[in-house]
Structure 1
């Protein structure tokens, strides 16, 4: 065995190691956590898109009756109607709330007729709807129901376009009227479908 040199002068044949690469744990951990964060964000984005896609399918899968009743309940007017002070904000003598509520109620009823009966109510005026009901009266609809539909559309037009005022009780009554008309129409539609099956 060779002797180990004791002085540094005798160790001249050993070279210093240059450019030592140190393994830097903080940089590696930062890189790993960055990749994990990227994967987690991609996963969350995919889950959000799946949630939105499923929500749209659920909304589209509602029957015309369910969709109309859901929209009626979402109007949010019940809180305002039950308040002790009148909720109408007057602007030039017109109730903004009345206008928007009757616009929404009219749209809900028109959309229901369009979806449930394939009746083109969305793109028709009230007078055109009245003419269509008179000339092409569906068998299941009685004259009384047609009269209620037409009278509601005429009242809604008066409030929406002519600025005719309506009180809170009138709004409440008309909301219940629309709800009852839609439920009645849906019952008649189901009877008509079961007869033809």
Structure 2
């Protein structure tokens, strides 16, 4: 116990124990009397003691002439630890408590037998108990499965939409329009014109009719179209004539004029536009 009288203020501190067991709670009390209305300032709540001291409770009681601060703390390491001088500002003056040394010991002895308070008891779980234990995991799994299904359906729909006849038709018509803008017809560049026209047409037949036109030679493609019957005779004739003419142009065996090139471009456009009717007929024939 320390008491100091300075200008009528008395600062005192008291530590209830200097030896503590691991985790045991100690109490430090700081008292100031004779304040005569002066204010007291110190470290904030739960921050008065140094690092190793775990503050459990920090309470302050203030009256016009008296001040009391009670710190309950515990230490969870063995050894000797010091509570240093703690400063308190009373009015304009600073005062200090005396330091304390606290020894923390482990009271458990090697070989001590630890007895359970009561024996473990087996509890039989019912279906309701298992539901309460695992319901959130099951619900989370169901949500994940639902999300996977929705994503799968969305991707499937988007892919199917991308491969739909209407989309294929519009895409090919745009490609044919871009071919026209290159002005191969006006320049008389029949070779470049027919190379691109045949390439666009082969790609369209492959995607729209599921016929491997992109890898078949012209004669083989014509034979497959006749056997397959997916393309109407009218459209089949247009494809056959233009593809054969394209081969002749490629090997410089014919030299079509602008009118012939424009006619072939228009015929392929009409073929692409009529393709939807071919697919409708094919679906009715196969019962799809």
Aligned position for 2:209: 117
Distance, in Å, in 2 between the alignment partners of 1:147 and 1:79 is: 26
Name which one, 1 or 2, has greater alpha-carbon Rg.
2
Aligned position for 1:143: 233
Question: 1:183 aligned to 273, 278, 281, which one?
Answer: 273
Aligned position for 2:178: 74
Q: CA deviation at 1:194?
A: 7.1
Aligned position for 1:41: none
- TM-score (structure 2 length as normaliser): 0.39
Distance, in Å, in 2 between the alignment partners of 1:100 and 1:118 is: 26
Q: Structure 1 residues 117 and 184 mapped into 2: Cα distance closer, same or farther (>3 Å)?
A: same
Question: Which structure has more RCO (C-alpha within 8 Å, separation ≥ 6)?
Answer: 1
Question: 2:192 aligned to 100, 103, 107, which one?
Answer: 100
Q: CA deviation at 1:73?
A: 0.5
Deviates most, 67-76 or 183-192 = 183-192
- TM-score (structure 1 length as normaliser): 0.56
Distance, in Å, in 2 between the alignment partners of 1:132 and 1:99 is: 26
Corresponding position: 1:133 with 2:229: no
* Higher helix proportion (structure 1 or 2): 1
Corresponding position: 1:61 with 2:162: yes
Q: CA deviation at 1:61?
A: 3.4
